Amino acid sequence: MHVPDGFIDAPVSAVAGVVAAGAVAVGLRGARRELGGERTAPLAGLVAAFVFAVQMLNFPVAAGTSGHLLGGALAAILVGPYTGLLCIAVVLLMQGILFADGGLTALGVNITVMGVVTTVVAYAVFRGLTRVLPRTRRSTTVSAFVAALVSVPAAAVAFTLIYAIGGTTDVPLGKVLTAMVGVHVLIGVGEAAITALTVGAVIAVRPDLVHGARSLAAPLKLRVGGDLIDVPAAPAAATPAPARSTRTVWAAGLAAALVLAGFVSFYASASPDGLEKVAADKGIDEKVQEHGAADSPLADYGVEDVDNARLSGGLAGVIGVGATVVVGSGVFWAVHRRRTPQTPEDRTTPASRTGKSA
């Protein structure tokens, strides 16, 4: 659903850019709370790289149409909605600058539609479901499936609304809305399957690393005499257990992303994605403009001067994963380092602790 330059006029694109910038600013502030430990920043960078890799895997959804992961639901559930928004923003930035995918003037539109809308809608649905369903791994995975499924047509509706305000072609809005929602409901099924499988796999091995699965660690309750009471916690060990390392998970996740982008992507569907298909069928693309980075050596997910298509696409995918994990991890590490101390002890000066004035 990457919107190219020329679909939306300049004034509306500028407004969308302001909205996206504001959302990213809010995301940076909120991510300071979500990035609670030093291990979280590289994991958030890994999530961004994984989303980049899976977005290269277009899957067929209808005759002559394909779809790909948007990733907002997956990122929000794994690392939190604020950090998830930043993950998608990093991915879209890398795709736009390095691979000429998604217009540069439309970057604000893409972040708003593919980042803000998907993470907000998906996480709201996910949290609503996890509040009413039993606190189990299965129900958490089911909630992730439904949240991802809903987020994709929601993004299609958001694009249609933006197009209604600033579209550069005169196409009946009803036709655009029907076509966009129709095809993206089908794409949403693929998105939901990928999201549920990924979230379920991580929960199975390390539920403590899934932001949306924190409720699984909440105290169990028993019904006694009609009242719910907390199950007594086990006595604390004399020596606290050391924090579990995330190196294995990070290495496995990075290896999976590299394999998907560097090898599996060669077998992705070559059919146009949902937006491209609707744009061609309805005439939305009449005023599409050439991408500002069309001369990039990695444009269209291929390496310039590498004639072998399989090698060219694979190298581009590997470079993209590497660039995204480096940039993403750097951003999240910087956000983590700027966290404001939250404990009363951190906010108390040494003098006030001793009762002496400076």
Helix (H, G, I), strand (E, B) or coil at 98: helix
Q: What is the pLDDT of residue 41?
A: 83
Q: Which domains does the chain have, with CATH numbers?
A: 10-218+258-339 (1.10.1760.20)
Measure the CA–CA gap between 185 and 143, rounded to whole angstroms. Answer: 17
Measure the CA–CA gap between 147 and 199, rounded to whole angstroms. Answer: 12
- Alpha-carbon torsion angle 219, 220, 224, 228, nearest 10: 60
Q: Say if pTM beats, i.e. exceeds, 0.85.
A: yes
Q: What is the pLDDT of residue 215?
A: 72
Q: What is the pLDDT of residue 224?
A: 59
Closest CA to 94 of 85, 104, 80, 105: 104
Q: What is the pLDDT of residue 336?
A: 86
Q: Which residues of the chain have pLDDT under 70?
A: 37-39, 217-244, 339-358
Closest CA to 71 of 79, 309, 43: 79
Q: What is the pLDDT of residue 247?
A: 87
Identify whether the C-beta of residue 209 lies closer than 8 Å to the C-beta of residue 47: no
Measure the CA–CA gap between 30 and 34, rounded to whole angstroms. Answer: 7
Measure the CA–CA gap between 260 and 50, rounded to whole angstroms. Answer: 9
Tens-digit pLDDT profile for residues 149-176: 999 999 999 999 999 999 999 999 999 9
